Amino acid sequence: MAVHFAKDDEDVETHDINVTPFIDVILVLLIIFMVAAPLATVDIPVQLPSSTAQQTPRPDKPVFLTVKSDLSLAIGEEAVPRANLSGALDAATKGNRDERVFLRADRAVSYGDVMDVMNTLRSAGYLKIGLVGLEAREPSP
């Protein structure tokens, strides 16, 4: 490797920016984000039935719709076929579709089945739905 110095030229400063370290830093950050992004979307199993929220005051005669573990429905203590749900709710609420219906489901019932019942309630005109769960004494970790 040879170096050539001109005797009659002065040393001239170059005013170019060295971008190589900048590119190295950007590439390292890109790799870090590419590795970290999939780790941020981990699925976590969740148990929904208990809650530590403050209880809302219950009405004098609340209407409870229960989804049992065998997916049968009951209003209060009376079993109701799924096809007659709208009529049974009209009888229980005396036709008042603004009354809140409290929906409770067994822990074994899948989330999709609960959503099917909620969709049935919505199509029947009952839009005020309260979900009922067990009150947790202490927050679970």
Q: What is the pLDDT of residues 117-139, one digit of tens each?
A: 999 889 888 888 888 877 666 65
Higher pLDDT residue, 80 or 6?
80
Q: Give per-residue pLDDT as tens, 91-102.
A: 888 888 888 888
Residue-by-residue DSSP string for the chain: ------SSSPP--------HHHHHHHHHHHHHHHHHHHHT--------SEE-SPPPPPPSS-EEEEE-TTS-EEETTEEE-GGGHHHHHHHHHTT-TTS-EEEEE-TTS-HHHHHHHHHHHHHTT---EEE--EEPSS---
pLDDT for 76: 82
Could you read off the pLDDT of 35-84 as tens digits, one per residue? Answer: 887 776 655 454 556 666 676 666 678 888 888 888 888 888 888 888 88
pLDDT of residue 93: 87
